[in-house]
Chains A and B, each alone.
Chain A
Amino acid sequence: MIWNEHAECMDREQLLKLQNERLRNMVSRLYYNVPFYRKKFQEAGIDPGDITGIHQLKDLPTTTKQDLRDNYPFGLFAVPQSEIVRLHASSGTTGKPTVGGYTRADLRTWSEVVARSLYAAGVDKNDVVHVSYGYGLFTGGLGIHQGAQKIGATVIPASGGNTKKQLQIMHDFGSTVLACTPSYALYLADTMKELGMDPSELKLRRGIFGAEPWTEEMRREIEAKLHLKALDIYGLTEVIGPGVAMECEHQKGLHIFEDHFIPEIVDPNTLQPVPHGQVGELLFTTVTKEGMPLLRYRTRDLTTMTVEKCACGRTLARLNKFLGRSDDMLIIRGVNVFPSQIESVLLEMSETEPHYQLIVDRVNNLDILEIRVEVNEAFFSDEIRQMENLAKKIKANIESVLGISAKIKLVEPKTIERSEGKAKRVIDLRKLVD
């Protein structure tokens, strides 16, 4: 099913014209309304009038997460605050979240791309969409909600947590579509098994899963355990939220809604496009956003792209599976975690040394973060209670900064591997790429 055939199946030449026109418009909005971008253009000696089309994107400045932090909270907004009708923020960044500001038109765009995503997954107004993404600053819950409402489906705003109740609601209300993170989908499946519930007792037929990377193996497991077709949705708060790209029922890559978000795959070092089909970092330019348009935003996700018409009829470019990150960010239970955040927590505590190691694993389909911290002479106590209190204090401090709980393991001094130059800070035992 295709929600907006005009936009999604457009002739690529026609699409290019539309993108060029929208980019020109966006560049001038950025130049005149956002001092940050005006300065970047001036430094690069680029006049907004020089830009005629997306073939020049490679010459334009990029935007990083750090730029968003430096301009926290509203410094990159391109409209007066009176035009902003909604704020969202992404989780866990060095104490400061990444903010997204939406105008009325932005919310319409967002609902539109989520509506397209749901249709791509074969979801329509006859469906009962159970949204188990968190509702709140996180874009997952409200993002899917608005799109499901737009297509006229029955929406259940279940939000996260209370798994048993979720299952009861799914059972009693006849949910046909489940939207959540893939690891939560597996957790639900396992809880069902524990409760002696059979998946055939539910009416689920589609799953809209995203907010974290997952493998084909996980897909097969979810599909087998929940008796549904599992589809991948991609998005990020900075760009708009879920609905930047979505898999169709052919499960052959994620269609990027290119009339709104222009993708590039570049070499992370040179920021120049890589030859077609090669792995590189994914960049997005949001050509229709009003509240916070971003130019060449560096997602840090490594992937490849396909620009061939899909069997579903869409002409949009497709993202293939994600192969990793060009930085050291980890996604743990849907929360973005940088090792440097943990380091700064430890540095702020007088009792600890910044010698640590992060062990990430997936146990019973939930991400587990263990932080190993070296005990030094200065804070080593002969009393168990004091040592345990120290571990609790580290845990609480990490939790308040990252928003996720971690298991703290105190280890002996100098036992954490130190390699020359770059210390091995992260051991990720999860299998996220096939």
Chain B
Amino acid sequence: MLLKQLSVFLENKPGRITQVTKALDEIGVNITAFNIADTSEFGILRMIVDNIDTALQALKAQGFSVRTTQVVGLVVPHQPGGMYQALEHVDKAGIEIEYMYAFAYNSKAAVIIKADDTQKLVEVLSGSGYHVLQEGELIQD
């Protein structure tokens, strides 16, 4: 019930993101969702892709610092209060969120969440009736 995310360390210098996307283009990997966390000195590019193993190998071969991280993909109703209600369950369970980012999933809204206890997060959300994305689900769409 967990998704694998690619994280790439990037120095703040021109052209680095272009190079990552070029490497993925060359091997025909599609990016479903991505986010950049940045500081003044460096950034971390986080991506959900359709073929993570191929992407990982290609980026490593080009000398990028890459790793995979387990995250949760949550589908939320695309309406006022949709996100809030989901997060209330998370808070009640005492789970701490490290970061999250949103992306469009068909006509619905989806978020990627990284938490201190990812396993527990999946249990809480599934238990509350939420649609938690599984690996493979994103690829078929």
Check B53 for interface membership: any CB of A closer than 8 A: no
Check A152 for interface membership: any CB of B closer than 8 A: no
Check B41 for interface membership: any CB of A closer than 8 A: yes
Closest Cβ–Cβ distance, residue B56 to chain A (whole Å) = 11
Is there an interface contact between A377 and B65, defined as CB atoms closer than 8 Å? yes
Is there an interface contact between A412 and B41, defined as CB atoms closer than 8 Å? no
In the complex, the chain B residue whose C-beta lies closest to that of A414 is B63
Q: Mark A395-434, 1 if CB is under 8 A from B, else 0.
A: 0000000000000011111110000000000000000000
Complex Cα spacing A391 to B67, Å: 19
Closest Cβ–Cβ distance, residue A24 to chain B (whole Å) = 60
Considering only residues 32-86 of chain B, those with a C-beta below 8 Å from chain A are 37, 39, 41-42, 44, 46, 63-67, 69
Closest Cβ–Cβ distance, residue A423 to chain B (whole Å) = 18
Q: Please name all residues of chain A whose beta carbon is closer than 8 Å to the beta carbon of B11 when the two chains form the complex.
A: 410-412, 415
Considering only residues 375-397 of chain A, those with a C-beta below 8 Å from chain B are 375-377, 380, 382-384, 387-388, 391
Classify chain B: how many residues form its interface, as a range: 20 to 34
Q: Please name all residues of chain B whose beta carbon is closer than 8 Å to the beta carbon of A409 when the two chains form the complex.
A: 41-42
Check B9 for interface membership: any CB of A closer than 8 A: yes
Is there an interface contact between A391 and B41, defined as CB atoms closer than 8 Å? yes
Check B10 for interface membership: any CB of A closer than 8 A: yes
Complex Cα spacing A388 to B42, Å: 10
How many A-B contacts are there with CB distance less than 8 Å?
Answer: 48
In the complex, the chain A residue whose C-beta lies closest to that of B42 is A410
Chain B at the A interface: mostly helix, strand, loop or mixed? strand
Is there an interface contact between B65 and A380, defined as CB atoms closer than 8 Å? yes
Complex Cα spacing A383 to B44, Å: 8
Is there an interface contact between B39 and A384, defined as CB atoms closer than 8 Å? yes
Q: When the two chains form the complex, which single residue of B10, B37, B64, B69 contacts A384, counting CB atoms closer than 8 Å?
A: B37
Complex Cα spacing A382 to B66, Å: 9
Complex Cα spacing A155 to B108, Å: 77
Q: Please name all residues of chain A whose beta carbon is closer than 8 Å to the beta carbon of B64 when the two chains form the complex.
A: 412
Is there an interface contact between B98 and A383, defined as CB atoms closer than 8 Å? yes
Considering only residues 350-392 of chain A, those with a C-beta below 8 Å from chain B are 375-377, 380, 382-384, 387-388, 391
Is there an interface contact between B67 and A382, defined as CB atoms closer than 8 Å? yes
Is there an interface contact between B10 and A382, defined as CB atoms closer than 8 Å? no
Complex Cα spacing A5 to B45, Å: 71
Interface centre among B7, B39, B41, B44 (most CB of A within 10 A): B41
Closest Cβ–Cβ distance, residue B43 to chain A (whole Å) = 9
Given contacts A382-B46, A384-B37, contact A377 B10 (CB under 8 A): no
Q: Mark B1-40, 1 if CB is under 8 A from A, else 0.
A: 0000101011100000000000000000000000001010
Q: Please name all residues of chain B whose beta carbon is closer than 8 Å to the beta carbon of A382 when the two chains form the complex.
A: 5, 7, 44, 46, 67, 69, 114
What is A's interface to B at a CB cutoff of 8 Å?
375-377, 380, 382-384, 387-388, 391, 409-415
The 4 closest A-B pairs by CB, nearest first: A382-B7, A382-B69, A380-B65, A411-B11
Known: A388-B39, A391-B41, A410-B42. 6 other contacts (CB 8 A): A382-B44, A382-B69, A387-B9, A387-B42, A409-B42, A412-B10
Interface pairs (16), CB distance under 8 Å: A375-B42, A375-B65, A377-B66, A377-B67, A382-B7, A382-B46, A382-B69, A383-B44, A384-B39, A384-B44, A387-B39, A387-B44, A411-B11, A411-B42, A412-B64, A415-B11
